[in-house]
């Protein structure tokens, strides 16, 4: 029962291979999975919802605007419920719609609304498969982290011979089992996130507005891409992403100590935390009283965690920094890249409303020795995925 407790949405679109779907559902269930089927209108020309309801043992969902279906399990619920969404067969039309971010039927809406991984088993005429636009759509989905299963080659229902057949039902089931089986991590990522707090006295501290959202989104995206992730986190009110090892710290000194201890056992280090540059030189033992009109706090410089990791001579990970700037972004970012001896730096302009600190969206520009790349405004979740893909490209070249 290798798929015990696994919740799978099987999306069926309008291709002749839809007749193989009851077999997929039955075999997934044999492995212990709970399967819910979502059908497009086109798919119902090839196979009936009743058949799939019977084999899955669950009601079949096929309408975006059906009040009764929404009352029992709405489309957002289904998007949240799934551990994996498999679209098989996936027509060229559905692939294009998902790539374009359309939400014009239940299946595409679920794909847009889900954080679950999505696997696509293309099935179409070989000419349609080879059409440049289809190839572009598939490549773009793959780049965004969707899994592309197939297609296979051979004789097609229309009489053509070539690539475009849906891979066999049992192959889809094998890939699903493989998808959920534990694997050795592809890479080990260490990341700092959130603010630090620098104590003045037992009840007061100096800190900043960092929410930790960007760092947490990167940790989550990297984990989903097969990384073993250690997250050294300042105080934030965010849930730990699943299967991420979180080490909580408060001050810059603690973050420095924990990060330096972890760094040599990791392949990549991303410094996403907004570390306080200075800390009060003395922390008062008792709460400071407001006796005077003025108060002076003498500050001393905190250690630079990123620069210290990048300066490691043994087992130095690939080092990525962040630069939050309000002006001359490129000049300051490139300055940090060189001064801290980094491999890559991600810069953002925090003076622009709606991006950066405490926001759900962000835009970044990556700089490295002799290049740059813009990652335009997007949700931090989406941006995090693109960032990890780009970091991995550079890491693999460097390794």
Decide if residue 85 touches ligand C5P (CB under 6 A). no
Beta strands in the chain, from DSSP E residues, in sequence order = 7-12, 34-39, 84-90, 118-122, 147-148, 152-155, 161-165, 187-193, 198-201, 204-206, 227-233, 244-248, 268-271, 278-280, 299-301, 318-325, 344-349, 361-368, 371-379
Decide if residue 391 touches ligand C5P (CB under 6 A). no
What does the alpha-carbon distance between residue 49 and residue 62 come to, in Å, rounded to a whole number?
8
Residue 96's closest CA among 140, 45, 37? Answer: 140
**CB neighbour burial string for 288-315, b if at least 16 within 10 angstroms, e if fewer:** eeeeeeeeebeeeebebbbbebbeeeee
Site for ligand C5P in 324-383 (CB under 6 A): 336
Q: Please, what is the minimum distance in Å from the beta carbon of residue 322 to ligand C5P?
A: 4
CB distance 232 to 269 below 8 Å: no
Which range in 53-61, 168-176, 228-236, 297-305 contacts ligand C5P by CB under 6 A?
297-305
Stretch 230-269: interaction string toward ligand C5P, x if CB under 6 A:
----------------------x-----------------
Decide if residue 304 touches ligand C5P (CB under 6 A). yes
CB-wise, 16 or 307, nearer to ligand C5P?
307
Q: Is 265 helix (H, G, I), strand (E, B) or coil?
A: helix
Decide if residue 219 touches ligand C5P (CB under 6 A). no
Q: Please, what is the minimum distance in Å from the beta carbon of residue 256 to ligand C5P?
A: 7
158 carries an active-site annotation:
yes
CB-wise, 95 or 350, nearer to ligand C5P?
350
> Which residue's structure tokens are 């089927």?
37
Per annotation, catalytic residue among 21, 111, 158, 272: 158
Among residues 164, 194, 234, 321, the one that binds ligand C5P under rule CB under 6 A: 321
Q: Is 378 helix (H, G, I), strand (E, B) or coil?
A: strand
Decide if residue 323 touches ligand C5P (CB under 6 A). yes
> What are the residue numbers of the active site?
158
Q: Which residues bind ligand C5P (CB under 6 A)?
A: 192, 252, 271-273, 275, 302, 304-306, 321-323, 336
């Amino acid at each position: 029962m290798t798929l015990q407790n696994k919740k799978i949405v099987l999306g069926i679109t309008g291709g002749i291979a839809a007749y193989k779907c009851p077999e997929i559902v039955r075999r997934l269930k044999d492995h212990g999975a709970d399967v819910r089927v979502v059908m497009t209108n086109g798919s119902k020309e090839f196979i009936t919802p009743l058949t799939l309801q019977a084999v899955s043992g669950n009601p079949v969902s096929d309408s975006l605007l059906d009040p009764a279906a929404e009352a029992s399990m709405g489309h957002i619920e289904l998007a949240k419920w799934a551990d994996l969404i498999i679209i098989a067969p996936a027509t060229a039309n559905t692939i294009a719609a998902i790539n374009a971010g359309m939400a014009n039927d239940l299946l595409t809406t679920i794909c847009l609304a889900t954080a679950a991984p999505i696997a696509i088993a293309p099935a179409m005429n070989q000419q349609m498969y080879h059409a440049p636009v289809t190839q572009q759509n598939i490549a773009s989905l793959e780049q965004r982290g969707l899994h592309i299963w197939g297609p296979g080659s051979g004789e097609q229902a229309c009489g053509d011979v070539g690539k475009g057949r849906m891979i066999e039902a049992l192959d889809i089931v094998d890939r699903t089992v493989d998808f959920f089986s534990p694997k050795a991590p592809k890479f080990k990522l260490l990341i700092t996130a959130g603010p630090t707090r620098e104590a003045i006295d037992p009840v007061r501290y100096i800190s900043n507005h960092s929410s930790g959202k960007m760092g947490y989104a990167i940790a989550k995206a990297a984990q989903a891409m097969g990384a073993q992730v250690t997250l050294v986190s300042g105080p934030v009110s965010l849930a730990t992403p699943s299967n991420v090892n979180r080490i909580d710290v408060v001050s810059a000194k603690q973050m420095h100590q924990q990060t330096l201890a972890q760094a040599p056992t990791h392949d990549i280090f991303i410094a996403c935390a907004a570390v306080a540059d200075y800390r009060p030189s003395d922390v008062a033992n008792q709460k400071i009283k407001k006796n005077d009109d003025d108060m002076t706090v003498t500050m001393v410089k905190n250690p630079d965690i990123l620069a210290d990791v990048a300066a490691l001579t043994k087992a130095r990970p690939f080092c990525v920094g962040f630069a939050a700037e309000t002006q001359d972004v490129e000049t300051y970012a490139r300055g940090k890249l060189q001064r801290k001896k980094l491999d890559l730096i991600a810069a953002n302009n925090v003076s622009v409303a709606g991006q950066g600190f405490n926001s759900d969206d962000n835009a970044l520009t990556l700089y490295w020795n002799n290049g740059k790349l813009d990652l335009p405004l997007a949700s931090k979740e989406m941006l995090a995925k693109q960032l990890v893909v780009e970091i991995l490209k550079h890491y693999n070249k460097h390794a």
